[in-house]
Amino acid sequence: MRTTIIAMAAAACIGAPALPAQESATALIEGARAQVEGLNGDSAYALLVAAFQLRPSGNNRVRAFTMLGFAELLRANRQAARNAFEEALRLDRSLRIDSIADLHSEAPVVFAELRQIYAPPVTVAAGLSVELTLSRDTNIAAQNGRLRIGATPSHGARVAVVVTPADAPTVVIWADTELVRGVGALGWDLRGRDGNPVEPGRYAVRVSATDSVGVVSPLVQRVVLVERVVSDTQAIPEPLLPSAFAPETLHLRRGSPAGLAAGLVLGAAAAFLPSALGNAALSGNTATSGAYAIGGVVSIAGIAAWMTGQRARPMPENAARNAQLRLQHANAVRTAEQANAATRAAAPFRVRLEESP
């Protein structure tokens, strides 16, 4: 990881004016600190890249990575800052930043997370301790509610609190620090870094303290069970049954009167048209009898078709009523679902302290 950080830093500064070769790594690191104090993150970053190119060693290397963490915070690169602080801690597990913590407000939080993950505090002879107090069973409002985490050091010290999933101690859900003289308390809103409520589950609350001379307390940890209180929700309307809808088409068991009339007219025309035309060839007795027969057949066929036929008649009033019924049902379902989602979102958390075995 060290090589990655240095390579990234060098790549970011390609094209920057070369710094005087005679400047030592120490001077460059001091210059970077001055730039950090002036809130000039990019300038501090460039000086530190130059310092790394001189291959600093020992304490200079630790200081370079520490200042790189501050520079990256100023550049809004939180993950890069974590990487730099981690490198510093790997080189010196007793590293503290209390004297320079004020250079960036977020630095104590990030550094405290890493100290608890990568450099667990050890018991020292000076006797600094911290007491962790949590409610055994409490409900926390979903909006603006906070779980009170009592963190009281045995004497004035900066308290660091980190919350992680109980089975994933390197995944930081929430962290905070506070300078405590006397009784201290921090509040976790039961939300993760993304601002969303945490999922129900087991979470580890870890607390340590560091005093002004660098003495570190033993780590204290408790596990809490987080769940959401079950809230009453309204029933979702059932799907509409086919019987709820009115027929949109009327099916009649007789043909249309117009069809019957047309059949009779065609029959009459077939019977009387030859006589009406006055054609002797067509109006003889034999021809006339045949015409009547044809006309009768056509008329009978028209009557039969009318009696056995079916026809459909649209019912626009029912169609409009059915469309309105579907719309009302869809609105009722959507309203119920939205109300239930709001109810579940507003449901309070229940937090219980897991008893030690």
Taking a C-beta distance cutoff of 8 angstroms, is the pair 112, 177 a contact?
Answer: yes
Mean pLDDT of the chain: 77
User: What pLDDT, on a 0 to 100 scale, did the predictor assign at position 220?
Assistant: 92
* Residue 213: count of CB within 10 angstroms of its CB: 10
- What CA–CA distance (Å, rounded) separates 72 from 82? 9
User: What pLDDT, on a 0 to 100 scale, did the predictor assign at position 20?
Assistant: 45
> Which of the four pLDDT bands, split at 50, 70 and 90, describes residue 10?
very low
Task: Check residues 297 and 337 and name the one with the higher pLDDT.
Answer: 337
Residue 92 reports pLDDT greater than 90: no
The burial class, CB within 10 Å (0-12 / 13-18 / 19+), for 272 is middle
User: What pLDDT, on a 0 to 100 scale, did the predictor assign at position 303?
Assistant: 58
Tokens found for residue 73: 């915070």
> 0.85 exceeded by the pTM?
no
- What CA–CA distance (Å, rounded) separates 356 from 291? 111
Residue 115 reports pLDDT greater than 80: no
> Which of the four pLDDT bands, split at 50, 70 and 90, describes residue 346?
confident
Taking a C-beta distance cutoff of 8 angstroms, is the pair 174, 163 a contact?
Answer: yes
Residue 278 reports pLDDT greater than 90: no
The string of DSSP codes covering 311-342 is EEEE-HHHHHHHHHHHHHHHHHHHHHHHHHHH
> Which of the four pLDDT bands, split at 50, 70 and 90, describes residue 244?
confident
* Residue 303: count of CB within 10 angstroms of its CB: 15
Task: Check residues 212 and 23 and name the one with the higher pLDDT.
Answer: 212
Residue 5 reports pLDDT greater than 50: no
User: What pLDDT, on a 0 to 100 scale, did the predictor assign at position 309?
Assistant: 54
Residue 34 reports pLDDT greater than 80: yes
Taking a C-beta distance cutoff of 8 angstroms, is the pair 47, 26 a contact?
Answer: no
Average pLDDT, integer, range 281-287: 49
CA 220 to mean position of chain CA atoms: 32
User: What pLDDT, on a 0 to 100 scale, did the predictor assign at position 27?
Assistant: 87
Proportion of the chain above pLDDT 70, given as a percent: 73
User: What pLDDT, on a 0 to 100 scale, did the predictor assign at position 308?
Assistant: 58
Residue 53 reports pLDDT greater than 60: yes
Residue ranges with strand state E in 229-332: 249-252, 311-314
- What CA–CA distance (Å, rounded) separates 44 from 30? 10
Model confidence over 134-189: pLDDT tens digits?
989 999 888 888 999 999 999 888 999 999 999 988 888 999 988 888 788 899 99
Residue 94 reports pLDDT greater than 70: yes
Model confidence over 181-229: pLDDT tens digits?
878 889 999 998 888 899 999 999 999 998 887 788 999 999 999 998 8
User: Running DSSP on this structure, what letter comes out for residue 230?
Assistant: P
User: What pLDDT, on a 0 to 100 scale, did the predictor assign at position 78?
Assistant: 85
Task: Identify the bridge partners of residue 208 per DSSP, sorted by sequence position.
Answer: 160
> Which of the four pLDDT bands, split at 50, 70 and 90, describes residue 119?
low
CA 120 to mean position of chain CA atoms: 33
Structural domains present in the chain: 2-118 (1.25.40), 130-230+348-353 (2.60.40.4070), 242-343 (no CATH)
- What CA–CA distance (Å, rounded) separates 112 from 91? 16
> Which of the four pLDDT bands, split at 50, 70 and 90, describes residue 305?
low
The set of residues, in sequence order, having a beta carbon less than 8 Å from that of 200 and lying 6+ positions away, is 226, 227, 228
* Residue 85: count of CB within 10 angstroms of its CB: 26
The string of DSSP codes covering 158-199 is EEEEEEEETT-TTS-SEEEEEEESSS-EEEE-SB-TTSSBPP
The set of residues, in sequence order, having a beta carbon less than 8 Å from that of 304 and lying 6+ positions away, is none
Residue 17 reports pLDDT greater than 80: no
* Residue 216: count of CB within 10 angstroms of its CB: 23
Query: Which one of 7-11, 53-57, 101-105 scores highest in mean pLDDT?
Result: 53-57
